[in-house]
Amino acid sequence: MEEKYLYFRKGPALADDDDSSNSCCFPLSSFTGMHPSTDTTLTLGFKSMKNYDGFTHGANKVVTSDLVILTIDDNNHRDVMQSLVDLFASKQKDGMLVIADVVTGDFCNSLVKGVDTITVDDANS
């Protein structure tokens, strides 16, 4: 299976890399889009990891998107979005693309400064 995966790690330390609010890896095929959320944050949306089939089990359940909010240099949303699109379209056919790893200081672009939030919603009951 050829697929690119997008990796995010918030930290704060390698020893705390034990849940989805600290690190996460999404297949590029689940990426739904991105938008500015504040002057210094960019929100990336993904199809739900735990509700991937789009089906709800139970009344009044809503399928939500998983989100990663990146911290970026002030008002550089377009440049960061362009660099992400270029990375996604790169000739690399499969493997992991590190978008932001706060623990190692590895970022896909110098305008990306950190990971503010990683949200992977619970599975519907």
**Other C-beta atoms within 10 Å of 22: how many?**
19
pLDDT for 1: 56
Do 25 and 6 form a contact (C-beta atoms < 8 A)?
Answer: yes
Q: What is the pLDDT of residues 3-61, one digit of tens each?
A: 999 999 998 777 777 778 899 999 999 999 999 999 999 999 999 887 766 556 566 66
pLDDT(2) > 70: yes
Whole-model pTM: value is 0.87
Instruction: State yes or no: pLDDT of 79 exceeds 90.
Output: yes
Q: Cα–Cα distances in Å, from 57 out to 66, 92, 124?
A: 18, 38, 6
Q: What is the pLDDT of residue 104?
A: 93
More confident residue, 93 or 79: 79
